Structure 1
Amino acid sequence: MRTGWIELAAIPAALLVVYLLRTNGWASDHARRAWAWLKEWARLAPFTTVLWLLVAVHAWMLIGLSPRLRDAVLLTHSTTLAHLKHEPLTVLFGSAIWTDVDELLFMTFTAVIYLAPLERWLGTWRTVLAFLAGHIGATVLIALWIEETVLITPEQDRVYARTIDVGISYGAYCCAALLAYRLRWPFRLSVWALLLAYLLYQASLTDFDAAVDYTSLGHLVAFAIGLLLYPLTRTDRARRHRLDPWIKIPAATSAFSGAGDSADNETTSLAR
């Protein structure tokens, strides 16, 4: 294992930033405002915040590792058929929080655009349920389909055993489909149509006969699961919060006074 220069520079860089913020009044004031905003955002979306931090920490742990060792770590948490048979709970939950560093941008986009607005609308526990339904449901259904209907040759089986299939995209696409229920009909159908067109285009690029790559099909299954979770949007909380701001912190809490209701309580890489 080798230590990368990023880890070596991170601590002194962080200390330098703290020193500059403390010695500069203008910067300190803006830093306090940004920190207060982040705390309020995290208070309104605790599950999204914890998930982002878990993914970020696990991605950070991979920095500095050699490509071979990084792939070995990710493969340990990948949802291959062998792992699902022998240690299903470990890989079903672990695969959602392990990903490569280059996926952090997708995770951040998902947190801001999909997960946090859904959590502020439906509540924390319903958002957790929706995310797990998409992530676990799509993973299991695709694995069962592969095992029951796809003829896997010994060569393909060896490729699949070395396939890295980790990430949050199954849960993210499920939550995106569910969040569209918050929109009025014309806009709702437009969002579904655009998302479905993108997922179908993504699937069309996959040569299923040449590679054991079923992630794009998993995205379509997760999208369908999100549509089936419509009953989660018919609760009293969902009706009360239907008109809340989509991304912006509500005006009532923008002063960060703490008032308001709390939220309910050679490896093939297929990083999702």
Structure 2
Amino acid sequence: MERTARAASTPTPEPLPAGDVAALLDGVPRQRGPVAAPAPKTPHTALHLPFPRPLTWRVRPWRLLPTPTGTPVTFTYTAILALTSLFASWASPRLLDAVYQDSSTDVAHLLRTPVFVLLASALWIAGGLLSPYALAFVLVLTALERRIGGARAILVFLTGHVLATLATEVPVGLAVLVGHLPDTSLHRLDYGISFGVAASIGALSGLLAPRLRWPLLALVGYSLVTDLIAFQDPMTNWGHLISLAIGTGLWPVVRRWRRERVQDLAAGVVPVAP
């Protein structure tokens, strides 16, 4: 009876204001709703790329040129070519002719010192720094190194340089052997970077979007065929076409190298070039 009496004598509490009720409800656990499904991963986010945006490159004109940190191989090679071109500009004609002869990949030198002349001939620019192949070398090798790495870019360059040289000089040696050409053809002056550049253009085109790939190949191919029709230097002109075909034949290889480089960039194995 005491408990009942006390309960009956307890005054009825007044209702809380609306603001206090809202404050009390904030501490009540809410029911869980349906869990939202995670957003599907794109191929780039699945790789956890260290870029602000997945492989979205802004247009930066300075990336067209080689730099010591971004493209060290192309930068070093370009510096060497600049030095040899300056030497060719200031050296006496007699000295320059002797150096060119020693660096020539003619049949006679290929039989005696093949490795030396194949490397030495790629240290000179026929026509000097103002040659179209000089500008093409800088732009194409820079773009190729940024996509597949410096060592692989030089490997593409040397593949075109060596194979196109052999493809043009071996027939000359055979023609002299059977008597179709005079013995002086064995000492035909042959040097320069044009074969390697043409092969690099062919390889780079396989890494470009179709809207850029086919116009580039059409423009370069038309220029090389026009030179061949002019018949001023048919062996060299055939070498340019052969090296361009060698570069396009490397599409499966360079595309695989490109995928591997993207994965290395994503994993942080290779630092992002500035």
TM-score by length of 2: 0.65
Residues 62 and 101 in structure 1, CA contact (< 8 A), matched pair in contact too: no
Once structures 1 and 2 are overlaid, which stretch shifts more, 183-192 or 127-136? 183-192
Residues 66 and 75 in structure 2, CA contact (< 8 A), matched pair in contact too: no
Task: State the shift of 1:191 in Å.
Answer: 1.5
Counterpart of 2:256 (choices 220, 224, 235) is 235
Residues 71 and 164 in structure 1, CA contact (< 8 A), matched pair in contact too: no
Counterpart of 2:158 (choices 101, 109, 132) is 132
- The reply to whether residue 57 of structure 1 matches residue 69 of structure 2 is no
SS of alignment partner, residue 182 of structure 1: coil
Counterpart of 2:173 (choices 123, 147, 156) is 147
Cα gap change, 1:214 to 1:98, in 2 (>3 Å): same
Number of residue pairs matched by the alignment: 205
Structure 2 CA distance, aligned partners of 1:184 and 1:39?
20
Once structures 1 and 2 are overlaid, which stretch shifts more, 110-119 or 215-224? 110-119
Q: Describe the superposition over 1:101-137 as per-residue Cα deviations: whole angstroms up to 9, x where unpaired.
A: 7245545412432000010011112101100100011
- The reply to whether residue 89 of structure 1 matches residue 115 of structure 2 is yes
The residue number in structure 2 matching 1:172 is 197
The residue number in structure 2 matching 1:73 is 99
Flag structure 1 segments of 5+ consecutive residues without an equivalent.
1-35, 242-259, 264-272
Please, what is the CA RMSD of the aligned residues?
3.0
Letter in 2 for 1:167: G
Flag structure 2 segments of 5+ consecutive residues without an equivalent.
1-61, 263-269
- The reply to whether residue 261 of structure 1 matches residue 233 of structure 2 is no
SS of alignment partner, residue 143 of structure 2: helix
Counterpart of 1:190 (choices 186, 206, 215) is 215
SS of alignment partner, residue 121 of structure 1: helix
Structure 1 CA distance, aligned partners of 2:114 and 2:66?
36
Cα gap change, 1:99 to 1:72, in 2 (>3 Å): farther
Residues 135 and 171 in structure 1, CA contact (< 8 A), matched pair in contact too: yes
Residues 62 and 100 in structure 1, CA contact (< 8 A), matched pair in contact too: no
Identity %: 31
Task: State the shift of 1:240 in Å.
Answer: 6.4
Cα gap change, 1:147 to 1:121, in 2 (>3 Å): same
Counterpart of 2:246 (choices 216, 225, 249) is 225
Q: Describe the superposition over 1:44-91 as per-residue Cα deviations: whole angstroms up to 9, x where unpaired.
A: 111211111121222222333222321121111001100000000010
Residues 43 and 262 in structure 1, CA contact (< 8 A), matched pair in contact too: no
Cα gap change, 1:239 to 1:195, in 2 (>3 Å): farther
Structure 2 CA distance, aligned partners of 1:74 and 1:40?
27
The residue number in structure 2 matching 1:113 is 139
Structure 2 CA distance, aligned partners of 1:196 and 1:40?
25
Q: Which has the larger radius of gyration?
A: 2
Structure 1 CA distance, aligned partners of 2:179 and 2:254?
40
Letter in 2 for 1:173: A
Counterpart of 2:229 (choices 193, 204, 222) is 204
Letter in 1 for 2:236: T
Residues 160 and 198 in structure 2, CA contact (< 8 A), matched pair in contact too: yes
